[in-house]
Amino acid sequence: MPGMDNSKKFNGLLSELEDCTEIEQKEIVEEMKRVIDEMSNDEFRSVFTKEIFNKIDKMIEEKKISLENAICLSKHLGYCKVKKILFILSFEGSSLCKRFEKMMNNKNDKKEGKNEKLLVDLSESYLLMNPLPSPELISISVPCILKAASDKEENEEAKKKVEIALVTLGSIDKWECVGQELYLHEIREIIQYHQEHHNLSRFAYHSAWKFSILRLYRNRELEEVVVNELHFGREAARELDELAKCVDWKGREERWGEDEAKEAYMIWKWVNVIFDYFSMCELLNKEFIVLLSSIVRVFRAARDNYEIISLRCILALKEAENRAVKVDDLLKGGAVNAVLEKMQLQTLNKFETYEFLLFLIEIPIRLKEKKDRTADKAKRKATKKEFLEKMEELGYEDTITSFYGIFRFINMSYYPQISLDVSDYFVNV
């Protein structure tokens, strides 16, 4: 179908399915998957409406498409939706969604000869397409998907199945629906095996970590595994550094989110996971400063042309500052230097200014009020002195004073707790 846009191509191919044999259907479905891969985000949203999912369900009912082909197509749709970070609610509430839910509940019955592959395929299709899945079906799905993700075969088809399984797990945001007994041993083995054999793609490895980090909330046993056994700080820093070497930081970001293979896109995804790690993890080790340093390097590289990454980096650093890290670690990791450098540029927008000011303001407030984790009084006093010297060297006082005129605007618009007294932002040793 030369000359047609992808949405018309997809609808045309869907219509062709009605008069085909099952073997011909498989060939057309593979062509439909290729068309989906080439869709822009706007095309994707325009095609995959509630009406299209109801139509596919009706085709299953009328035996115009086999259930196997319908599930295969739906799973690929969900996989692409997650990679493109598209939030689409049209699947939820469709008759196809209800069909999948009913089948998954039936397949959960303890009957001999249960089709485990069908349950995996249904689970992946349902969870990838549905941003608001049923908690009961999440708990049914996770064990069988983890089993699929644990496959250690080396052929490309097996690796692709493992990637889809891990991407599915990484798409589950609801931490409370997945009991630790359902995943801890398996996800630990998957990550450890990759660390030894490098069998996963970057996206699959990131998804395994995302699933783990989103389970950290109030989970001290998993926190110990993540920090001291699986070494998240070391691994995330290495991923950031390797990806950063592949990005043309001087080029402008283009078609953000359209090409999921872009290294810059993967950096953004990793920084999001690191943000969640900082927000939920209280256990620290020596790898923490290494991770901070990697974020700072990415922040510096991205600050001119990749605003979406640089801003996310500063939010991650702020989260570390608020939740876990000592001021001394922020100094050693280079976070303070990097923020001051950015503050002195002429390209800041209002939101960036607000975020950077909050980052800088929090440090002296913590040191003044003895909120820092450094318990030793002499050590804390030495840190204060080092901080003052660093601030003087990098022009901290001039930077804060230069933004004094917009404090009132930020107070009214964003953050009413910001003081209008500039002296509050300097530390008295």
Q: What is the pLDDT of residues 78-116, one digit of tens each?
A: 999 998 888 888 999 899 999 999 999 886 554 444 588
The rounded distance, in Å, linking the Cα atoms of 296 and 317 is: 8
Would you tell me the crossing angle of helices 116-129 and 156-170 to the nearest 10 degrees?
A: 50
Does 423 have pLDDT greater than 80? no
The rounded distance, in Å, linking the Cα atoms of 220 and 218 is: 6
409 versus 63: the higher-pLDDT residue is 63
Within a 10 A sphere around the Cβ of 314, how many other Cβ atoms? 22
- The single-letter DSSP state of residue 252 is P
When pLDDT is cut at 50, 70 and 90, the band that residue 62 belongs to is very high
Contacting residues for 307 by C-beta, under 8 A, at least 6 apart: 253, 352
When pLDDT is cut at 50, 70 and 90, the band that residue 3 belongs to is very low
Q: In this structure, are residues 95 and 58 in contact, taking their beta carbons and an 8 Å threshold?
A: yes
When pLDDT is cut at 50, 70 and 90, the band that residue 422 belongs to is low
pTM equals 0.85
Within a 10 A sphere around the Cβ of 82, how many other Cβ atoms? 21
Q: What is the pLDDT of residues 237-256, one digit of tens each?
A: 999 999 999 998 887 655 55
Mean pLDDT (the chain) is 84
Within a 10 A sphere around the Cβ of 368, how many other Cβ atoms? 15
Contacting residues for 109 by C-beta, under 8 A, at least 6 apart: none
The rounded distance, in Å, linking the Cα atoms of 70 and 359 is: 50
Helix ranges restricted to H, 171-286: 184-197, 202-213, 220-224, 232-244, 263-280
The rounded distance, in Å, linking the Cα atoms of 34 and 81 is: 14
Within a 10 A sphere around the Cβ of 29, how many other Cβ atoms? 21
- Exposed e or buried b per residue across 378-391, where buried means at least 16 C-beta atoms within 10 angstroms of its C-beta: eebeebbeebbeeb
The residue among 219, 241, 316 whose CA lies nearest residue 274 is 316
Within a 10 A sphere around the Cβ of 28, how many other Cβ atoms? 17
When pLDDT is cut at 50, 70 and 90, the band that residue 335 belongs to is confident
Does 347 have pLDDT greater than 70? no
Give the model's pLDDT for residue 112. Answer: 45
Give the model's pLDDT for residue 252. Answer: 67
